[in-house]
Amino acid sequence: MTTLLQSIGVLILVCTALPISTSKQWWVRVWDFPRLQIASIALIWLLITMVLGAAQQSPTSILWVIVLACFAYQLWWVWPYLRRHKVEVLPCEENNQAPSVSILTSNVLMDNRNSDSLLDLISERNPDIVATLETDQWWQEALDTQDAYPYRLASALDNKYGMHLYSKIPFEHAEVEFLVEKNIPSMNVMFLLQGAPVRLHVVHPTPPVPNENTQSTERDVELLILAKHLENVEEPIIVTGDLNDVAWSKTTRLFRRISGLLDPRVGRGMFNSFHVDFFFIRWPLDHFFLSSHWRIKTIERLRSIGSDHFPVFVEISLQNPTTLDSHLNKDQADTELEKETLQSDTANNSIDPSNPQPLD
């Protein structure tokens, strides 16, 4: 029993130490995701060793201190997404009359053919804008039946990276971009909200997994290219999509440090959107990031539609920008990581985002 406990303790240490590295190998970066799960396992391990008295026995006693440090370190990463943390995006005041917009974002799972579940959800929630990911031509035909959304932007692909926008609000500008890879689209839209120009970006970079990319470089480059484009934008901004990254990872935190965008989940909860079928390995992959012009009316994870992702929904109100800062401050390590990522071969060979290219 002691040997088993010691082996688990060492494994907790290894899983905690690996993502400290800046390596972009998938088997390193994958440990950015389950920080809450590792913290929970560490806490259980600490309690069991105390109950069994193993915590007072050397060398387990030394390992106990190490695992306690791992627990504290993992909890530090996810702490902002617990309800006791101070919110980043302020709540909307009651009886607020400022213009608002509601958005439903859903990674539908391309092979999922239960379109009625999503259409029913859209009918119930009646969002102003619907953003869908992994939507192919079949999904486009199903979603095109929604007459309430006359303004549309489509990139129907059969590679699990198609995306669509459906809106009740007219687009002043709308384009599909291919920032890094010619078969991985993103969307860049401008619309007016009671005369105020608003920028909306939808993204879905590739994940660091063996069957797609053995490294996280493509994902990281796409997010940082977008962040650099948003760095000095003064208009209200909304970024949504499946980032294939968790909110607390180094890359997503750097994306927010550069762009200046805030996370409405901070102080409100994780809103874990993936995986629908396995509650014990859920984490937040589907995101909303907002400029400081916005206040939160509601943010919700919605019911399953047959995908491996839950849809997510926000309603936000446009007001004067606040001076409330993110808890993230860019430091020298961030500058070095930004430089390393944007000077990588992937970034140098990426498609010029100022001149997006169509698919062949």
Q: What mean pLDDT is reported for the chain?
A: 91
User: Residue 280: how many CB atoms within 10 A of its CB?
Assistant: 8
Contact 310, 301 (CB under 8 A): yes
Residue 311 is assigned to a structural domain of this protein: yes
Share of the chain above pLDDT 90, in %: 79
Residue 53 lies in a domain: yes
Please tell me whether residues 44 and 192 are part of one structural domain: no
Res 350: pLDDT: 66
Q: How far apart are CA 197 and CA 180, in angstroms?
A: 27
Same domain? For 125 and 69 the reply is no
Predicted confidence band of residue 353 (pLDDT cuts 50, 70, 90) = very low
The total of structural domains in the chain comes to 2
Residues 177 and 63 occupy one common structural domain: no
Of 307, 241, 312, the closest CA to residue 275 belongs to 307
* 59 lies in some domain: yes
The confidence band for 357, taking pLDDT boundaries of 50, 70 and 90, is very low
CA distance 72 to 92: 33
**Which tokens is 256 given?**
């927010």
Quick one: 204 and 113 in the same domain? yes
Query: Do 179 and 314 have their domain in common?
Result: yes
pLDDT of residue 95: 79
**pLDDT tens-digit readout, 135-158:** 999 999 999 999 999 999 999 999
pTM of the predicted structure, to 2 decimals: 0.92
Give me the CATH number covering residue 293: 3.60.10.10
* Domain contains 93: no
The answer to whether the CB of 107 falls within 8 A of the CB of 309 is yes
Token representation of residue 112 = 């999922």
H helices of the chain, in order, are 2-17, 26-29, 35-51, 60-78, 115-125, 137-143, 217-230, 250-259, 332-342, 345-348
Kindly state whether residues 63 and 113 are assigned to the same domain.
no
**87 assigned to some structural domain:** no
Q: Are strands 186-193 and 196-203 parallel, antiparallel or unpaired?
A: antiparallel
Give the model's pLDDT for residue 323: 56
Helix (H/G/I), strand (E/B), else coil: 104: strand
Give the ranges where 126-249 is alpha helix by DSSP (H): 137-143, 217-230
Residue 276 falls within a domain, yes or no? Answer: yes
Which residues, including other chains, have CB under 8 Å from residue 196's CB and lie 6 or more apart?
99, 235, 236, 318
Residue 353 in any domain: the answer is no
Among 15, 46, 81, the domain boundary falls at: 81
Task: For residues 163 and 275, state if they share a domain.
Answer: yes
Is residue 114 a part of any domain in this protein?
Answer: yes
pLDDT at 355 over 50: no
Structural domain boundaries enclosing 14:
2-81
Give yes or no: residues 124 and 242 share one domain.
yes
